[in-house]
Amino acid sequence: MSGPLPWEKDAPLAARWTDLAYDLLVAGELTAVIRVHGEVSVEMISGPCPRCHDRFAHSAPRAGVSDRVGVLAHEHAALPSDWVFVDLWCECTEFHPERPEGRSGCGVGFRVPARIERS
């Protein structure tokens, strides 16, 4: 690969990004948890992006952890009850040509299963 990857315009939500993210998760390179403290839930996803491989850290509040995502074609299996799917975008801070103003990452979105950690 030569030069920085341009912003993804053709297939930002292609199933392969989710498949690659899942592989990274299984390999232990990507970590995905939902931290629950009382009423507050926070998504915490960190590791390499499945497309650009730049490391990023996603941290965002989540509106409750009981919302289960329906089954899509590229989902791997039903999740146990203490896991939920998180949809997110690459949030790396590396340079990607043609990136729109105000955005971060390389332009791909993907889905990862995250384990719910209650404390």
Give the residues lining the site for Zn ion (CB under 5 A).
49, 51-52, 54, 90, 92, 94, 106
CB of 26 to Zn ion, least distance (A): 19
* SS3 track for the chain: CCCCCCCCCCCCCCHHHHHHHHHHHHCCCCEEEEEEECCEEEEEEEEECCCCCCEEEEEEEECCCCCCCCCCCCCCCCCCCCEEEEEEECCCCCCCCCCCCCCCCCCCEEEEEEEEEEC
Nearer Cβ to Zn ion (17/83): 17
CB of 21 to Zn ion, least distance (A): 10
Nearer Cβ to Zn ion (20/90): 90
CB of 69 to Zn ion, least distance (A): 22
Nearer Cβ to Zn ion (30/49): 49
